[in-house]
DNA sequence: GCCCAGGGAATCG
DNA sequence: CGATTCCATGGG
């Protein structure tokens, strides 16, 4: 892969395993808007960024070479060889098919605070409504960026009472967000020191927050804390795992976790993303599933 | 009107 | 303990 800048546009050429639609639509991130086929606007790191892809060429704008090196290169996880990851996890025909179906997925390196709050909001909720709640929260408390609003910083959102949050129509999750803000502000949960913790220790820390259980914690750890070995198991993953790996039999989450750990080890998080996109776009395991 | 959504807390037996 | 119930809201 190479990159060059021209008038605040950075062009990436010969990018491997990069499909902007798959990256954004695989459920890891909520702050994006589809403008056209392979043309998106995202808001991350307090910036608006447009992304337009044509084949293996990707244009990022407005974006200087410095922005790219400092922010977006890591955000899109461009140091990692996803071809190698696909080889490692493709140990059976099921995963081979899932990886072939969505070989342009990459796991973004998002900011822990934003990701944690976003997945608290995600619980027992659907993706379009999650995006709406986060958009309203950003518009009400975040910095105006001209073409959108940044996700509110902790100091900004902390001005909101539980009632204020409830008014954003996040329902019962308002109490959870308020509890999370309290614990982050008073450092009962300290996101600045997460790099010093093992994944088990980090999980224990995150579980202190009301509204954070294993699944929400796993998403935050996988999508923003570099813990690529966790296997977030939501209703879609449970359903597709039962359907594709457990012969259609009802299987509890602990069993699914140990199965994934055994099978994919440190790459389990990647396997989870390929399966999630595969399952959700093809509706595998639901009564809407299309025949092959 | 009913069901479900990238679940988790509270309660009950 | 495990199993059930409730939680707000909006799209299908």
Considering the domain architecture, whether residues A122 and A217 belong to the same structural domain is answered as yes
Q: Is the CB of A172 under 7 A from strand B?
A: yes
Q: Is the CB of A37 under 7 A from strand C?
A: no
Q: Is the CB of A211 under 7 A from strand B?
A: yes
CA of A129 to C1' of C2 (A): 32
CA of A108 to C1' of C4 (A): 37
Considering the domain architecture, whether residues A292 and A218 belong to the same structural domain is answered as no
Range of the domain at A271: 84-102+228-292
Mean pLDDT, range A219-228, rounded to an integer: 98
Domain CATH for A36 = 3.30.310.260
40-69 on A, CB < 7 Å from strand B: none
Quick check: is A107 in a domain? no
The CA distances from residue A52 to A7, A37, A108, A187, in Å, are 16, 9, 17, 40
Domain CATH for A156 = 1.10.340.30
Q: Is the CB of A128 under 7 A from strand C?
A: yes
Quick check: is A29 in a domain? yes
Pick out the nucleotide with least CA–C1' distance to A167.
C8
CA of A261 to C1' of C1 (A): 25
Q: Is the CB of A125 under 7 A from strand B?
A: yes
Considering the domain architecture, whether residues A6 and A52 belong to the same structural domain is answered as yes
Q: Is the CB of A272 under 7 A from strand B?
A: yes
Quick check: is A147 in a domain? yes
- The residue out of A197, A224, A251 marking a domain boundary is A224
For A74-83, A245-254, A262-271, which range has the lowest pLDDT when averaged over its residues?
A245-254
Radius of gyration of chain A (CA): 19
> Which residue is nearest nucleotide C7, judged by alpha carbon to C1' distance?
A172
pLDDT confidence band for A291 (50 / 70 / 90)? very low
Q: Is the CB of A169 under 7 A from strand C?
A: yes
Quick check: is A89 in a domain? yes
- DSSP letter for each residue of A219-233: HHHHHHS--TT----
Q: Is the CB of A273 under 7 A from strand B?
A: yes
- The residue out of A179, A200, A224 marking a domain boundary is A224
- The residue out of A171, A196, A224 marking a domain boundary is A224
Considering the domain architecture, whether residues A9 and A74 belong to the same structural domain is answered as yes
Considering the domain architecture, whether residues A116 and A219 belong to the same structural domain is answered as yes
Quick check: is A251 in a domain? yes
CA of A285 to C1' of B7 (A): 20
Considering the domain architecture, whether residues A243 and A263 belong to the same structural domain is answered as yes
pLDDT confidence band for A289 (50 / 70 / 90)? confident
Considering the domain architecture, whether residues A250 and A210 belong to the same structural domain is answered as no
Considering the domain architecture, whether residues A121 and A180 belong to the same structural domain is answered as yes
Domain CATH for A240 = 1.10.1670.10
CA of A169 to C1' of B2 (A): 22
A72 DSSP assignment:
I
Helices (H), A30-172: 65-67, 73-75, 82-89, 93-101, 112-121, 127-141, 154-157, 162-165
Considering the domain architecture, whether residues A142 and A211 belong to the same structural domain is answered as yes
Q: Is the CB of A126 under 7 A from strand C?
A: yes
Q: What digits encode the pLDDT tens for the residues A140-167?
A: 999 999 999 999 999 999 999 999 999 9
CA of A192 to C1' of C12 (A): 42
CA of A211 to C1' of B9 (A): 8
Q: What digits encode the pLDDT tens for the residues A16-41?
A: 999 999 999 999 999 999 999 999 99
**Structural domains counted in chain A:** 3
Considering the domain architecture, whether residues A174 and A248 belong to the same structural domain is answered as no
Quick check: is A61 in a domain? yes
| A191-196: long-range pairs with CB below 8 Å, 24+ | A191/A112, A191/A113, A191/A116, A194/A112, A194/A225
Quick check: is A206 in a domain? yes
Whether the pTM exceeds 0.85: the reply is yes
Quick check: is A203 in a domain? yes
Q: What digits encode the pLDDT tens for the residues A151-207?
A: 999 999 999 999 999 999 999 999 999 999 999 999 999 999 999 999 999 999 999
Considering the domain architecture, whether residues A251 and A213 belong to the same structural domain is answered as no
Q: Is the CB of A172 under 7 A from strand C?
A: yes
Burial A192-215 (b: 16+ CB within 10 A, else e): eebeebebeebbebbeebebbebb
Considering the domain architecture, whether residues A176 and A188 belong to the same structural domain is answered as yes
- pLDDT at site A290: 53
């Amino acid at each position: 892969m190479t990159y060059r800048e021209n008038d605040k546009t950075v062009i990436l050429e010969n990018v491997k395993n990069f499909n902007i639609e798959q990256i954004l639509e695989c459920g890891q991130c909520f702050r994006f808007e589809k403008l056209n086929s392979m043309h998106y606007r995202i808001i991350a790191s307090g910036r608006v960024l447009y992304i337009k892809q044509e084949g293996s060429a990707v244009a990022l704008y407005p974006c200087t070479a410095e922005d790219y090196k400092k922010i977006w290169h890591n955000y899109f996880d461009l140091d990692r060889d996803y071809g190698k990851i696909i080889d490692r996890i493709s140990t059976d025909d099921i995963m081979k098919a899932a990886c072939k179906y969505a070989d342009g997925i990459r796991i973004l390196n998002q900011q822990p605070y934003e990701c944690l709050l976003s997945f608290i909001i995600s619980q027992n909720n659907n993706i379009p409504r999650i995006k709406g709640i986060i958009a309203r929260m950003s518009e009400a408390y975040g910095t105006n960026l001209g073409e959108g609003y940044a996700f509110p910083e902790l100091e900004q959102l902390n001005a909101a009472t539980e009632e204020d949050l409830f008014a954003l129509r996040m329902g019962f999750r308002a109490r959870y967000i308020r509890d999370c803000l309290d614990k982050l502000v008073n450092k009962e949960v300290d996101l600045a020191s997460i790099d010093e913790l093992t994944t088990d220790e980090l999980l224990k820390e995150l579980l202190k927050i009301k509204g954070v259980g294993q699944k929400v914690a796993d998403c935050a750890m996988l999508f923003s804390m570099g813990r690529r070995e966790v296997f977030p198991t939501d209703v879609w993953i449970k359903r597709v795992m039962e359907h594709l790996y457990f012969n259609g039999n009802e299987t509890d989450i602990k069993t699914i976790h140990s199965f994934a750990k055994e099978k994919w080890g440190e790459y389990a998080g990647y396997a989870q993303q390929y399966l999630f996109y595969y399952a959700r776009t093809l509706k595998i395991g639901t009564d809407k599933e299309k025949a092959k």
